[in-house]
Every structure is written in structure tokens, then in C-alpha cells.
A and B are shown apart, each in its own frame.
Chain A
Amino acid sequence: MELYELTLHELQQVLDKQEASATEIISSVLGRINKVEDKIQAFITLDEEGAMAQAQQCDARGSFSGLDGIPYGLKDIICSQGMRTTCASRMLENFVPFYDATVAARLKAAGGILVGKLNLDEFAMGSSTEQSAFFPTRNPWDLTRVPGGSSGGSAAAVAAGEIPFALGTDTGGSIRQPASYCGVVGLKPTYGRVSRYGVVAYASSLDQVGVFSREVGDCAQVLNLIAGKDSLDSTSVELEKPDFTSFLRDDIKGLKIAYPREYFQEGIETEIKNTVKQALLKYEELGAIVEEVSLPHSEYALPAYYLVAPAEASANLARFDGVRYGLRDFQAENVIEMFSSTRAEGFGDEVKMRIMLGTYALSSGYYDAYYLKALKVRRLIKNDFDKVFADYDLIVAPTTPTTAFKLGEQVGDPLTLYMNDILTVPVNMAGLPGMSIPCGFLEGLPVGLQLIGRAFDEGTLIRAAYAFEQNTDYHQAKPDIGGDII
């Protein structure tokens, strides 16, 4: 085994037992990145020198705790002090924040080594990472396919062994869907569990930072570090935070699991449904009670999402006007022209489309019919979940309707592309925690199992995910990245 292949907790053991130094770990990881990155293209920014320098400082200190000496990556929408944060947009191509997002600051404080910033769909708008203004990222399991999105760079880097863990953001499935496509663990915590401070906003009422890792235990450990009230984010919640690693117990006897029939309907590939049903049988075998339930308003989640998210985005992205930072058209004759030409040049098509959608939905005369109605749908979706969670501990479903699709296949077909989020969006609309873990392969491509929990009950997700992982070996499969790019 090479060091880059180790998981977070394995690396901690290696450091603890002094079997390898931080420098050796970083060297191994950078070696791996240099070897596969031209195929995967997960990183927008890579800081090899900085990472090595930190590793050397780490070794000089001699003792290791927390994330000391552990490499990681951040989705390039999470601000990192002194390191370019582009949101995969021309608009912020050269933007270097002078502040850290709270999550970045917490990982830094724990001793983690930030290796670089990971690709995404521009401003997190997309489901394939093809909307990056710079380049698409490829799926390590099949380089002709997308890694999913918007946190495709994070998922692909973890799956390809470029880093043991990464942070992403999930607004409508942007962590769970790429985790599913890339065969890794992806956790979107409850809205309010993790601070959004310093995370460039897409849709503020839906965005949540979460974790990608190769094993469930690593995910729990990183969640321990990033979760908790932040005085800089008024929507982060003051709650006693459990030790999430305490849920890593291989025991789910009596756990009540519901599977919603709406998540197994038409439009979901049969083989995906079958794979997930196998997983449900596994849970039964492990002592859980598994029953079918209904979430009747599920079908309205996607249209409502595509009103709420673009509406908020239209305001959130208005600040990119060329006045204070980022791109500016210096040729413009006056300020109005400067605003419009800067934005015309700086934003990609998908971003422009969502801004226009959102602007329209909020326009005078349309607000009640669109935005307000979407908020009401949101309430109904939340009620559906509340009813199920009155009787069940956990909801289990597929993460995505299909496995990873081919690059270019869905470009220019937004409606098909948006269907990728049909199983993940309701969770964001209800603000609940959701997770995707590997549960099988179809024609060599990973299938994700989605776990949905009560608000602030990430513990049960972690417990159920860990039990599944302990009794299966899908997480141990590794992609062979030898193939040529087609």
C-alpha cells in the first residue's frame, strides 16, 4: 500500500506510530496527484510548495494530533486565506481572499494541510462539473464520464486517491450525487449544523458544507471538526454537538428504516432500484426493521427547488459587479455598461440562466405565483418528512436515478440534467441531513445509497452507514485510472 491510498484514520495511525512522516505523506499524495491529475483534472489550484512547507513544520514539531500532517482539499467555493478562490468562474479567476471560511479555519486549526482547491460547476450550479469555466473533471471510474456535481472535483479527488478527504457544498445534491457517481462517502449535514461563513453563497437557505471521504469513520471525524455554532453565521445552530465518532458502532438492531415509494418510481433506472433494494435486504439482515412509506409531495420538490435556488442566487451573485473585486471590464464607457459587460463576460451560460430564472421568479407580479408558492411547497415537503420521522429513524433511498453519465451527454439539456437532483433536492428543501455511501456497481460504475435522517440526527446516519460499510466491501474497491481519455 502506498501512503496516498490510506484513509484519514489510517494516516493518523501511521503518523502516531511514526511509521511515516508528514513529509512522506505529502510527498506520496503530491506524487499521486502529479501522476493522475492530467486525467482526472480535479484541482483548480494546487499548492505543492505550501503543502510541503507545512508538512516539514509538522514533522519539526514531532508530535501529531487531530489533523496534523493530514492532507485535504476544499471545493473552490470555500474561501481560503491567501489561496485563490475562483468558484470555477472567470468572474473570480484571480480572487485571493484575505479571510478563511470558518470551516477552512477549523481544519487549519486542527493541523490539516490544505493541498489545493477543487473543481466544481461554476458557482456550484450544475450536476456534472462540466459547467466549470476552466475544464471538466473526469470520473476516476471511467474517464469518459462525469464525476457528478457540483462538487465533482472533491468527489473525484477523493475517489482517485489524490487526497484522503475533501469538503464540498450541497445545495440540491452537490455532495451526495458526485459521491454516488464516484463511489465515495458524502455527507451533507443538517442545515445549520455547519457554518456557511466564507462559503460563497449559491442559495443561502439550502447551501450546506459537508464531507467527502473513503470511509464513514473519516467522515464522522471531519464532521466533529467542522460542525457547531459559529457566531459569524446567524443560521448556524446552537446545539450540543455529540462526538460523531461515538456512532461508529456495528449495531443497528431494531433501527426503523423507511423507504419512500416515490423514490423507486419511473425515471429511476431499474438496476439502481434493485441495487438499493439489495442494500435494504442487507439492513434487514443486520436486524433493522425496513418498511415502505410515502412522501407524497416529492414530485414537487424539484420545480420548487428551481424557483427558490435561482431566486436566492440572483441576489447572491449580484455582488459580482466589477466594482470591488474580481473581473471588471475597464473598457466600459459608464457604470451601467461596466456592470453589464463585466457580468456578461464573467458568468457562464448556466449561471446566467439561473440568475435570469431567479430574477423572473422574484419580479413584481410573479412573486406570489412562483417564489411564495415554492416556499409553501417547501413546507409540505418538510411535513412529509416529519410524518415519516415520527415513526422511523431513517429513510433509505437511491442517491441518483442513474450512474455517472458521459461527458457532453447532457450538456445543453438542462431538464434532463436537473433530473439528476430529483432524489436529493427534497432533503435540502427540508433542511435535513443526507448521506451517500457506496452500495454496489453497475457495469463498473458505482451506485450510491442515500440515507436521510431527522434534523440534527447525523449520528443515526453515521451509525447506519458504518454498519453497512462494516458488512460490505464496496468501499474497498478502487478505480483503475490507467485508461486513455477519449
Chain B
Amino acid sequence: MSFETVIGLEVHVELKTRSKIFCSCSNEFGAEPNTNVCPICSGFPGMLPVLNQQVVEYAIKAGLALNCEIADYCKFDRKNYFYPDLPKAYQISQYDLPVCKKGYLDIEFGGTKKRIGITRAHLEEDAGKLVHQGSISSTPFSLVDLNRSGVPLLEIVSEPDLRSSQEARAYMEKIRSVLLFAGVSDCKMEEGSLRCDANVSVRPSGQATLGTRTEIKNLNSFKAMEKAIDFEVQRQIEAIEDGEEIIQETRTWEEDKQITRSMRSKEEAHDYRYFPEPDLPPLRISRKWVNDIIQSMPEMPEQARERIMDEHGLSAYDASLLTLTPDFLGFFDECTRYYHDGKIISNWMMGEMSKLLNQKNLDITQCKINPVHLVDMLKLMDEGRISGKMAKEVFEAMFETGSPPEAIIKEKGMEQISDEDTLEKIILEVIAKNPRVVEDYRNGKKKATGFLVGQVMQATRGQANPALVNQILARKLNS
């Protein structure tokens, strides 16, 4: 029997506003534990939430980027549960009236386009986190760090439109890309500012009703998400084939064992006892506000892709890679301001640059090369002052040091020799030293020039302009 996989994702995105969602504490990542805290985000008696308007603005921006309808009227609700990292023992979230709903994202996977529905996107506050010294099983106590408590989150819930782990990944990458372009989140999975839970079920191909789903939590990298989904799909198929029933439950991904494990079943599921948050008046979002935000929306990746394909004649493939992140696109755009040939820039970015970034596991914001320096390097090539081969060396040095290409060439003494008189002198010396080769050439062994060019290169330590060398050599040999 063949099976179809059905996946829906709940993606949590931290909004990178200056302050937290309900208090004025800083929203920066990585501060010392319990330094970005106040009585409000630590749930002290008598404290009240005050909604940060920038959070709403970011949510609207995100909603627009996700092609959602922005609500005229939405409200906040309390989601009740006890956990030591949840200071009020309820999370302020949005239950039945989210800020954004009915959106979609188009993904491209395996050459085909597919539209993934977005049910809703709602605002909520993050909880703190528990910290354990040493191993969780041997430590006698837990510590609570509330820096993250009250960090604004947008939870984006997809329709069950995804059919494979690869599609799920493509969808996640698309969310990341549009939210990065919208400028509302830094979407770093490794820092937890982008997280996701996956609802996974399988059904016999052709069956209309959905199979029983499980929810996988704790997916904190693209790789973990793909592996966990693949594992879970396989587990469910095997269970069904063995005649077992799938239990609706929450499972967690265990990275070290590479398995999903049951956390709790539906029967043990929390009753969150949602009710409207009485401390916050309902939120009305004026159409004027939404329109103002629409006017100020930055370019989205799809628009950027069209634009650079148009302006620079790039292939769809190159253009979509260049528009994965606004930083990558920004580098490209900056280069094209000073250099006419977008394709050449694209080739360098997609080639050498991506290779080196991957090798060093860096992203482009950490890249030392200044776009203007890349352009300078390209111009040096055009002027014939460096060869393509030398350029790669210069590029690597720029990547290491961030120095301008001129300085690197000077320091390494590697400027290309394009002075005809100098080259002619060297070529005449080489011809004089190799009478036999010259004779071979004149007797019809045209390949012999290769040897002579090599000799010239050796004499110039590779710095001779190869085009000029060929030209002059041909002239001298044929004269």
C-alpha cells in the first residue's frame, strides 16, 4: 500500500521589536540571565500588561508578507497552565480572534510551484526558560531565566497542505525569507527566534479523510525538522501496516537518538481554559494604519526576484538564490550600483562567496568583503591588471582580511603584467632560450606555444597577462 503524508506546521517567530510585548524591558538576545526583567514580565502581584504598539505594527507587516487578511478587531486571551518558566501561570495569547488570518505562501519545490495556505497568525508572549547546571537528570534543582518572558511571538499556523518533509522545509525557508525581507524578525533557528511544531499524519493514497495526527515539538533546526518528519512518517506507516492504531498525541524529537518519543496523549492534553484577557482592551486596527504600513512595506523576495531577473538577465534559479535573504540581495544590489554586469556579480556571489561562507559556516552579514571591493576587483580584471586565476586568490584574501583588492595585490606583489614592452622583452628571451621548440612550432606543431606561454608565466611568476602573452608570442613566432 502506498501512503500520502500530510503535514501542517505551527511556526513561532520572535518579533525583533526594541522592547518586549507588554513591558518596556529590552528584547535583545543573549543578555546575562534575568537582566532583561521587570515586575511585569516576572509576573509580580498587581502588575498589568500594556501592549507594545510596535509589536502590532510588526505583526501587521508579517501578516502582509504572508498574504494574510489583517483583522479590524482582535483581542487577547489568557491561556492557563502551570510551569515554572511561566511567571503568571498564564500566557497572554490570541484564541479566537487573531491579528492575521487567511493567508498563503507560494513555495517552489522540485521545479513546481505550490501554494500553502496559512490559517492564521496570532500574537503571544514567550515564556522564560529553565536552566540546569550539568545534566538535567543529576542536578538537584532548576534555575529560571526570565529574559525571554514577554518576548513578542507571532505563531503562524499553516493549513495541512504540505506533503513531504522537503516541502515543509521549503515552506519554512519561505517564511524565513519573507519575514526577513519584511524586517520583523531575524529568524535564527539556532537562537530560537524561529521555531516550529509539526502536525504529521499519513493516509492511504487516494483516501479523502485525514489520518490521525501527532504533533512533534522541539524542532530547532531545518535538519531536525526534516529528519523528525521523515522518522514520524515512517513510524506511522509501519504502525499502520502492523495493524496498530495511531494515537493522537504530542511527541518530542530526540536529537541524540534521532527518534520521536511520546510526551502526552490527547487524554492527558492540557485544558488551557482560554478566556478573554480582562487587562487588555480589544485591539482595533484602523484601515488607515494598515494602508500606511502597506505603503511602507519593503520589497518582498518575489518582487526582488522579478526585478533582478529583469534588470540583469539572471536565470530564475540564480535570482531565487540571491533573494533568499535581504542581506544577500542587499550585497548584490550594492554591487550593481557600481558595476554594469549583474551576471558576473551573481557568479562570484553564487560561486566563490557561497563556497567560502559555507566552508566557514558564516552568513553574509559576517562576510568581511565590502561590495565596493568586489566591484573594484572586477574592474581590475576588466582592465587586465589581474587574471581570473589571480582574482580568485584576491577574493580569498579579501574574504580573510576585508582589505581592498589594490592593497592585496600590492602586498602580494601579484599585479598582472600588461605592459607590452616588458612582456615583449621576456618573450624574446624565452624564444631565444628555446630554439628547438620554436622550430617545432614553425614546422607545424602549433601546440608548442603552450610550452612557451608556460615559460613566460614562470618567468613572471604567473603575473603576465595571458591574453597579451598569446598575442605577442604569436606575432613574434610568425614574423
Interface residues of A (CB under 8 A from B): 78-79, 85, 87, 92, 95, 97-99, 101, 196-201, 203-205, 231-235, 311-312, 314-315, 318-321, 323-325, 335-336, 339, 359, 362-364, 367, 371
Alpha-carbon distance A235/B48, docked complex (angstroms)? 10
User: Which B residue's beta carbon lies closest to that of A375?
Assistant: B276
Alpha-carbon distance A309/B82, docked complex (angstroms)? 20
B460 within 8 A of A: no
Alpha-carbon distance A231/B90, docked complex (angstroms)? 23
B39 within 8 A of A: yes
**What are 26 of the A-B contact pairs (CB < 8 Å)?**
A95-B45, A98-B39, A101-B46, A197-B47, A199-B46, A204-B279, A234-B280, A235-B278, A312-B278, A314-B273, A315-B78, A315-B88, A315-B89, A315-B273, A318-B90, A321-B82, A324-B87, A324-B144, A335-B142, A362-B80, A362-B274, A362-B275, A363-B271, A363-B273, A367-B273, A367-B275
B33 within 8 A of A: no
Neighbour of A234 across the interface among B42, B47, B274, B279, CB < 8 A: B279
B313 within 8 A of A: no
User: Which A residue's beta carbon lies closest to that of B85?
Assistant: A323
Alpha-carbon distance A312/B142, docked complex (angstroms)? 30
With A97-B44, A339-B82 given, is the CB distance from A318 to B275 under 8 Å?
no
Alpha-carbon distance A99/B45, docked complex (angstroms)? 10
- Which B residues lie within 8 Å of A336 (CB)? 82
Neighbour of A235 across the interface among B42, B82, B142, B279, CB < 8 A: B279
- Which B residues lie within 8 Å of A85 (CB)? 45
- CB-based contact B88/A79 at 8 Å: no
Neighbour of B278 across the interface among A97, A204, A359, CB < 8 A: A204
Interface residues of B (CB under 8 A from A): 39, 42-51, 78, 80, 82, 84, 87-90, 142, 144, 271, 273-275, 278-281
Alpha-carbon distance A367/B272, docked complex (angstroms)? 11
With A323-B144, A363-B273 given, is the CB distance from A318 to B88 under 8 Å?
yes
Neighbour of A233 across the interface among B45, B48, B51, B88, CB < 8 A: B48
Interface centre among B43, B51, B278 (most CB of A within 10 A): B278
User: Which B residue's beta carbon lies closest to that of A323?
Assistant: B84
User: Which B residue's beta carbon lies closest to that of A231?
Assistant: B50
- CB-based contact A201/B46 at 8 Å: yes
Alpha-carbon distance A362/B84, docked complex (angstroms)? 22
Sample of 17 more A-B contacts, CB < 8 Å, known A197-B46, A312-B275, A321-B82: A101-B46, A199-B46, A200-B46, A235-B279, A314-B80, A315-B90, A319-B87, A321-B89, A323-B84, A324-B43, A324-B87, A363-B271, A364-B271, A364-B273, A367-B273, A367-B274, A367-B275
- Which A residues lie within 8 Å of B84 (CB)? 321, 323, 335
User: Which A residue's beta carbon lies closest to that of B79?
Assistant: A315
Neighbour of A318 across the interface among B47, B51, B82, B278, CB < 8 A: B82
- CB-based contact B50/A232 at 8 Å: yes
- CB-based contact B46/A371 at 8 Å: no
Neighbour of A325 across the interface among B44, B51, B78, B281, CB < 8 A: B44
User: Which B residue's beta carbon lies closest to that of A199?
Assistant: B46
Least CB distance from B88 to A in Å reads 5
- CB-based contact A79/B46 at 8 Å: yes
Neighbour of A319 across the interface among B45, B49, B50, CB < 8 A: B45
- CB-based contact A234/B271 at 8 Å: no
User: Which B residue's beta carbon lies closest to that of A87?
Assistant: B45
- CB-based contact A198/B46 at 8 Å: yes
User: Which B residue's beta carbon lies closest to that of A230?
Assistant: B48
- Which A residues lie within 8 Å of B43 (CB)? 319, 324
User: Which A residue's beta carbon lies closest to that of B272?
Assistant: A364
